[in-house]
A and B are shown apart, each in its own frame.
Chain A
Amino acid sequence: MSLAEPLAPARLGALRARAATPAWLALPLIAFLGVFYLAPVAMMLARAAGEGDWAPLFAAIENQVAQRVFLGTLEIAFVCTLATLVIGYPLALFAALAPPWLARLAIAAVLAPFWSSILIRSYAWMVLLGREGLVNGALGGLGLIEAPIRMLNTTFAVYVGMIHIMLPFMILPIYAALKGIDGRLVQAAENLGASTASVLRHVILPLSLPGVAAGALVVFVLSIGFYVTPALLGGPRDMMVSMLIAQEVDLYNWDLASAYAGGLLVLTLLIVAVASRFVDLGKAMGGRK
């Protein structure tokens, strides 16, 4: 049989393409990041290390409040990721299956919040969820509640605000992955006897997983560093790492703030590293092999 080994030519091509890529095209970006990002981060990490005695770092690690805040932050990020996935996947699927005009409408609706800033959207939630807010007003008007419910400055409000803001970051990569699925595969599955549920489970779901992974990673990483929304909508118990850092900065505790920030950075890098072991991030973010 004279069938060529299929892998060899493709590999060679990829190597050649890589060798020919001019690395200096990345120089402006590297210079920018070096001055405005890497240098400050290095200074911050040096601060956290505290002139070699590691005292600020130990203080940060041993601080019980900080421990609780880090765990709480991870919990909020996790719940937000899960919630946006559960809410976002069906919508992405709907948009991917809908006729073009309806799909455009759905995606426009998903993107609409980007026209206003996160700050404004968070204030909007304050208006909606406050004691005299629209939600309480409506519920009271309908006679469903007697006294206003306390919603603002609760964990509930943090979740509502953050899930709302994070949804597009989950929906868009999933939608892109779903749109990339070859319709003929669905036909083939049906031809081979698959019910609609089986087509979803065995063909569409597995082929959309790179999009799910990308969306989940983006939402999780954005969530653990989030500041504005939890600060405005949460109560005193809903402190996140970013707020903890801001608090220490306000108190001129630069060493401790640096240690917390370093911890957050390491945590984020760790998550990205673990995620990249399971998914081809370049591909999931829309690149092609």
Chain B
Amino acid sequence: MTDPSRLGAPVRFEGVGKRYGRSWAVRGFDLEIAAGEFVSLLGASGSGKTTSLMMLAGFETPTEGRIAVGGRTVDAMPPAKRDIGMVFQSYALFPHMTAAENVDFPLRMRGRPKAEREAAVAKMLDIVGLAHLADRLPSQLSGGQQQRVALARAIVFEPPVLLMDEPLGALDKHLRATLQAEIKRIQARLGLTVLFVTHDQEEALTMSDRICVMRDGAILQVDAPETIYDRPADTYVAAFFGESNALTAVPEGPGAVRLGPVVAPWPGAGPAAGALEIAIRPERIAIADEDAPVPPAHVAVFATVRETTFVGDRRVYLAALDTGEAVQVNQPLADLSGGHRPGERVRLHWATTAMRGFVDGRAA
């Protein structure tokens, strides 16, 4: 925080847990967020995302653990003193104030001079595309417009830490993309630390510096988007981001596994005995004629095409291996020629480096 133009403050969760009655909504939550970093919380409904944000904002008291902002423990600090911007999942706009008055509220509470406030509110409403609706009450705005007012209100006072609980959930695709870019721009310009909750894996992948995947109140994996996608820590994370094929393999001596009829080299140690689950992304599998040559360092298997679907920029094939296992293949389309028909015998092949192995659900 030495550079005054960079507002962001680091945030640190240390062994944080929250218990409601006898069940834990969040448990063993350890997360360190650097100043100016954009971290997304991703997880199924009820996985503890909102609860984590509420503890950071000060509306829930952790049952155990410690939370620090800017190096200072905030556990005893009331919410109003924390200077953390928040976009609530339910928007929580003041129904008796216009859009402009809602956005003005945090500035007024900070006693900023009137002229400065008016300029800031006008600029912020312009950024979220609501300048023409400044004098409407929340009840006279659509869901998406309300969401944008909530966003403007949370950002206008340039808080060092900004929490957003599915801030773009109610927007159509186009507006969503516009505001995603806008949030990233504001965040980068001010250097804000952002903790962003979303259900949308693509949104998390495109916006985040790091993604924190949660399940049942626990953190499964925190990593950069590429790592999360390419090296998921377990099958749950693998399934959460994009599509994935799961094939069963058994160890075949050191450095090799057997996938049905073929033996593939296996770089990892692998289990001493028992089955190994191999995950392969559909876009990493190539589909070719039965007699086509196989590139070096590729694993190849025969299969029969069951279904083919045209999805614009790619073709999606469902094929059955001779073992009976179903495999999805996404074939990117440079042009529309070629293609394989249902019933056709084909050869599927992929680089050995495209395979990820899991034992009991954890990365092997």
State the A residues within 8 Å of B (CB): 1-4, 6-7, 182, 184-185, 187-195, 198, 202-203, 206-207
Q: Is the CB of A193 within 8 A of B175?
A: no
Q: Is the CB of B157 within 8 A of A184?
A: no
| A3-B142, A188-B88, A189-B105 given; A195·B96 CB < 8 A | no
A106 and B97 alpha carbons, distance in the complex (Å): 31
Q: Is the CB of A188 within 8 A of B94?
A: yes
A180 and B82 alpha carbons, distance in the complex (Å): 27
Q: Is the CB of A202 within 8 A of B95?
A: no
Q: Is the CB of A193 within 8 A of B109?
A: yes
Q: Is the CB of A7 within 8 A of B140?
A: yes
**Is B145 in contact with chain A by the CB < 8 A criterion?**
yes
**Is B83 in contact with chain A by the CB < 8 A criterion?**
yes
Give the contacting residue for B80; candidates A1, A195, A202, A207; CB below 8 A: A195
User: Which B residues are in CB contact (< 8 Å) with A6?
Assistant: 140-142, 145
User: Which B residues are in CB contact (< 8 Å) with A193?
Assistant: 80, 83, 106, 109-110, 157
A193 and B88 alpha carbons, distance in the complex (Å): 15
Within 8 A of A (CB), among B114-148: 129, 140-142, 144-145
Give the contacting residue for A188; candidates B58, B92, B144, B174; CB below 8 A: B92
Q: What is the CB-to-nearest-CB distance from A117 to chain B, in angstroms, rounded to a whole number? A: 40
**Is B169 in contact with chain A by the CB < 8 A criterion?**
no
Q: What are 27 of the A-B contact pairs (CB < 8 Å)?
A: A3-B145, A3-B175, A6-B141, A6-B142, A184-B88, A185-B95, A187-B79, A188-B88, A188-B92, A188-B93, A188-B94, A190-B58, A190-B59, A190-B80, A191-B58, A191-B59, A191-B82, A191-B84, A192-B105, A192-B106, A192-B153, A192-B157, A193-B109, A195-B80, A195-B109, A198-B109, A207-B96
Q: Is the CB of A191 within 8 A of B105?
A: no
User: Which A residues are in CB contact (< 8 Å) with B109?
Assistant: 192-195, 198
B73-99 CB mask vs A (1 if < 8 Å, else 0) is: 000001110111110101011111000
Within 8 A of A (CB), among B135-185: 140-142, 144-145, 153, 157, 172, 174-175
A7 and B86 alpha carbons, distance in the complex (Å): 28
- Considering the complex, give the chain A residue whose CB is closest to the CB of B101: A202
A4 and B145 alpha carbons, distance in the complex (Å): 10
Given A3-B142, A187-B59, A191-B57, list of 14 further CB < 8 A pairs? A7-B140, A182-B92, A188-B93, A189-B105, A191-B58, A191-B82, A191-B86, A192-B153, A192-B157, A194-B80, A194-B105, A194-B109, A195-B80, A206-B96
User: Which B residues are in CB contact (< 8 Å) with A2?
Assistant: 172
State the B residues within 8 Å of A (CB): 57-59, 78-80, 82-86, 88, 90, 92-96, 105-106, 109-110, 129, 140-142, 144-145, 153, 157, 172, 174-175
User: Which B residues are in CB contact (< 8 Å) with A4?
Assistant: 142
User: Which A residues are in CB contact (< 8 Å) with B94?
Assistant: 185, 188-189, 202-203
- Considering the complex, give the chain A residue whose CB is closest to the CB of B175: A1
The 3 lowest CB-CB distance pairs between A and B, nearest first, are: A188-B92, A192-B106, A193-B109
User: Which A residues are in CB contact (< 8 Å) with B129?
Assistant: 1
A34 and B141 alpha carbons, distance in the complex (Å): 44
Q: What is the CB-to-nearest-CB distance from B194 to chain A, in angstroms, rounded to a whole number? A: 15
A2 and B83 alpha carbons, distance in the complex (Å): 35
- Considering the complex, give the chain A residue whose CB is closest to the CB of B136: A6
Q: What is the CB-to-nearest-CB distance from A137 to chain B, in angstroms, rounded to a whole number? A: 49
A7 and B136 alpha carbons, distance in the complex (Å): 12
Q: Is the CB of A191 within 8 A of B144?
A: no
User: Which A residues are in CB contact (< 8 Å) with B141?
Assistant: 6
Q: What is the CB-to-nearest-CB distance from B61 to chain A, in angstroms, rounded to a whole number? A: 14
A195 and B78 alpha carbons, distance in the complex (Å): 10
A114 and B21 alpha carbons, distance in the complex (Å): 39
A194 and B79 alpha carbons, distance in the complex (Å): 9
A2 and B172 alpha carbons, distance in the complex (Å): 8
A194 and B144 alpha carbons, distance in the complex (Å): 26
A203 and B78 alpha carbons, distance in the complex (Å): 18
A195 and B105 alpha carbons, distance in the complex (Å): 12
- Considering the complex, give the chain A residue whose CB is closest to the CB of B57: A191
User: Which B residues are in CB contact (< 8 Å) with A203?
Assistant: 94
Q: What is the CB-to-nearest-CB distance from A225 to chain B, in angstroms, rounded to a whole number? A: 33
Q: Is the CB of B92 within 8 A of A185?
A: yes
Query: Which of A2, A7, A198, A202: most chain B CB closer than 10 A?
Result: A202
User: Which A residues are in CB contact (< 8 Å) with B80?
Assistant: 190-195
User: Which B residues are in CB contact (< 8 Å) with A185?
Assistant: 92, 94-95
